[in-house]
Structure 1
Amino acid sequence: MSRLARHADRIATGSAAVTRRLAVRAAAWIRRGRRTDLTGWRAALGCWLRLSLLALGLYLLWRLVRAVPNLLWLLSAGWLLAAWRAGRPTPTPADEDAPAAPNTDAVRALLLEAMGDADAVHLRTVLAHLQEQGHGQDWTVGDLRARLEALGIPVQLKVKAPGSKGPTRGVRRADLLASQPIGEDAPTGPSTAV
């Protein structure tokens, strides 16, 4: 890969990460507008108000850029800088000794460890487990899902795990063990591999 292609890839990766972070933060901010002391449509009025404020802010930004087109250069430079920073590979001290690709067996062991005695585990539970061990501090559930799918570990859309309020993305024990090569035993020991 040429140097220019590496830089373009870093900006594209970082731009996707910045977009994801902004969307997650905006959605969380809108969600916090829900009132718990009310029920029905009245409880959601705060969410609608915050969504309207966000739309108004975007509209005003668009109008400002239309009125002062040179502002777009400043906004573009800011976005490129944020994307460049977010797209930076984050080396860890273990990277010098670690293989280029994650060990699928170690990831399976980590998933089984996070699963415990249950038949399934939600990705947010796995992410919390990883972050407790000091890994993936800036990851989202989407980042974890992409990494698991890249390793060939099946992620299901609606998984019901014990102690959860409802189904969400997760990994089932049966799928995890079925995706293992034939003749190999399931990893059982704890793992710190990411």
Structure 2
Amino acid sequence: MKCGIPRTVADRLARGSSIVWQRRSEALATWVRAGRRDDLTGWRAVLGPAFRLAVLGAAGWLVARIVRARPMLMWALAAGWLIAAWRASRPTTDEETEDASEDEPEQGPAVSGPEAVRQLLADLIGDRSGVHLSAVLSHLQERGLGEGWEVAELRSRLEAQGVPVRRSVKVAGRVAYGVHRDDLPAPSPSEAADRAA
């Protein structure tokens, strides 16, 4: 007996489902971890993640209750999942691969080296006192970088590069996590010499 779905379609959906599951679970885990307060210690510091985990549990329970009450909604959920899986596992054409390989040298340094990170932050800060991490993340994602990242992940990556992140940076009347102009690392001697030349 032959299967009605071609094997390549089934493989693509299986691969896409795995990608979607991984992305969603990582995004939710990052969101839960971002609730931790650095200014508190002990059990008070984990109240944020515990609350966010409870919200996720309540949302899952609510969705399950709704689907049990209206089983037809399962078709919509399944269709949404299949569409997301299909898109996530979209094969790249040779032309897209060539375009991506041409873009890599330009995009790679934007998040790779300390000097490139410092320059990116300096450009985003401009003449203001600082830049919010959400603005940095939006800037990166508009250029196809940092896909699936949350502010907490960007924060840890910046701190790993030696860039101090403040909890309260005021920009345009809003206060949020960000990088203050005063905390920007000084340019390396080679970068300073290149700018002078």
TM-score (norm 2): 0.48
TM-score (norm 1): 0.49
